[in-house]
Amino acid sequence: MKKLDLGLDAVSIHEVRIGLEAGFAASDIIFTPNGVPFDELEQAIELGARLNIENLSYLEKLGEAYRGDVPCTLRVHPGLVLAEASNDASDWYQRSRFGIDRKQLKEAHRIIELYDIRVEGLHIHSSSVILDETVFAATAEVLLDLARDLPDVRILDLGGGIRPPYRDDDDHPDLDALAACLQAPLQRFELQTGRKLQLWFEPGRYLVAECGVLLTRVSVMKEVDSRTIAGVDTGFHQLIRPKLYDAFHEILNISNPQGPHQVIDISGCLCEEDDLARQRSLPEVREGHLLAILNAGAYGYSMASTYNSRPLPTEVMV
């Protein structure tokens, strides 16, 4: 990622330190914590990372402690309800808990002026439930309106939310359409203010999800009522996304790729309801077969645990 000239979005001081150990410049790391003790922000300042402030408490403590010597980005909660958006995206920006509420921006301005805080960027927390490019454009308009009253703003950070397709027919943001939606409001802002903004995104999963595969072996085949179940030697302790997010991951039988198809459930080895997939059509699966669970490169190993005292999986880089 460093060779591709990317920066890092870190949400804990430990991630900041990992980034520095990997050779990233501190100025290429933006630290966006929420609900952590303020001393984590102080450690990030000492290390030279950029700060993304998401509540009034942090903002006031930053002003009191550093009196304008430390610039920051503000994470804003836009409170938008977008009727034209589809599915869960329509009220995402209302449900989200991240950022300074728009109703509190007057107080935020008071703190900024009181302590002469230099706000160099505006940030919004986006989610992968957003699949409509126009939603990003609507949030960009909110941030651009705020930027007019903050003369030091040079960065517009629209967060994450750009996901890769997980199925052949998956809908996902069209990057060309997204660029087209954002170009006009950014150019209009530049003409009106004389300020050219940098546009930042944090598309971590988009970049790395398809780079990871979780390999698991079938330990046992069994029948329960009318269900055929393949019990495998992994589970939500190693890939929690299906359990936590009801996420779909394509699964391949790489031991028998050309076999006749059967509909099966694939269950993990924990003493819990631990289904990785239900009623999935796969080439015939037998005990000892090796299955490949795709798109495990994001929120896979990094969210793994040692639940049931089972060890973490081996991770091999190719």
Which amino acids are annotated catalytic?
271
Question: Quick check: helix, strand or coil at residue 77?
Answer: strand
Q: Cα separation of 33 and 98, whole Å?
A: 10
265, 289, 290, 261: which is closest to 276 by C-alpha? 265
**Alpha-carbon torsion, ordered 99, 105, 107, 112, to 10 deg:** 80
Pair 121, 153: CB distance under 8 Å:
yes
Q: Is the dihedral of CA 278, 281, 286, 291 positive or negative?
A: negative
Tokens coding 266 = 């694939």
Q: What does the angle CA 91 – CA 94 – CA 98 come to, to the nearest 5 degrees?
A: 125
On whether the CB atoms of residues 291 and 216 are closer than 8 A, the answer is yes
Two structure tokens written together for 309: 């005292």
Q: How many residues does the chain have?
A: 318
Nearest to 33 by CA among 20, 21, 45: 45
Report the alpha-carbon distance of residue 190 to residue 184 in Å, rounded. 10
What angle do the packed helices 133-147 and 175-193 form, to 10 degrees? 20
For strands 251-253 and 29-31, give the pairing. Answer: unpaired
